[in-house]
Amino acid sequence: MTDLKPCPFCGEVPQIQHDEWRDEGKDGPAVYIVCRSSTCWAEPSVMGDTEESAAAFWNTRAVVVTDEMVEILHAQLDYLSPNPNCGISQRALRAALEAALGVEGE
Ligand SMILES: [Zn+2]
């Protein structure tokens, strides 16, 4: 059984439906993963050749970074010492934050 994330719109568990390709020029099985919750206004669905490929599509989520998150990361960067003699983990974290935020190191 493939692990599926809940529906991103309603939070319910989606259903897996095995069917045949109906598109022109396609033969063989198709797998649909669809939210059939009666309270789901979006009713999202994805399709794949296999349960695994459909699940990979279903489980993909966009990464959303809010302005507030960026602000928090900038605050953390200010808190980290720019001293090159500080510990390696602090230097690595500072370098990672600078790269993620697109700011120059000092
Ligand atoms: Zn739903």
- The beta strands (E) that lie in the chain are given as 15-20, 29-34, 45-48
Residues 84 and 53 grouped into a single domain: no
Span from the CA of 99 to the centroid of ligand 1 (angstroms): 36
Span from the CA of 41 to the centroid of ligand 1 (angstroms): 7
What confidence category does residue 1 fall into, taking pLDDT thresholds of 50, 70 and 90? Answer: low
Structure confidence by residue, pLDDT tens digits, 21-58:
666 677 777 899 999 999 999 999 999 989 999 999 99
Span from the CA of 7 to the centroid of ligand 1 (angstroms): 5
Domain membership of residue 85 (yes or no) is yes
Q: Are 73 and 97 in contact (CB under 8 A)?
A: yes
Span from the CA of 17 to the centroid of ligand 1 (angstroms): 15
Span from the CA of 84 to the centroid of ligand 1 (angstroms): 50
Domain membership of residue 37 (yes or no) is yes
Q: How far apart are CA 4 and CA 7, in angstroms?
A: 9
pLDDT of residue 36: 95
Classify residue 2 by burial, with Cβ atoms within 10 Å: 0-12, 13-18, 19+: middle
Residues 55 and 72 grouped into a single domain: no
Structurally, the chain folds into a number of domains equal to 2
Write out the residue range of the structural domain in which residue 19 sits.
15-59
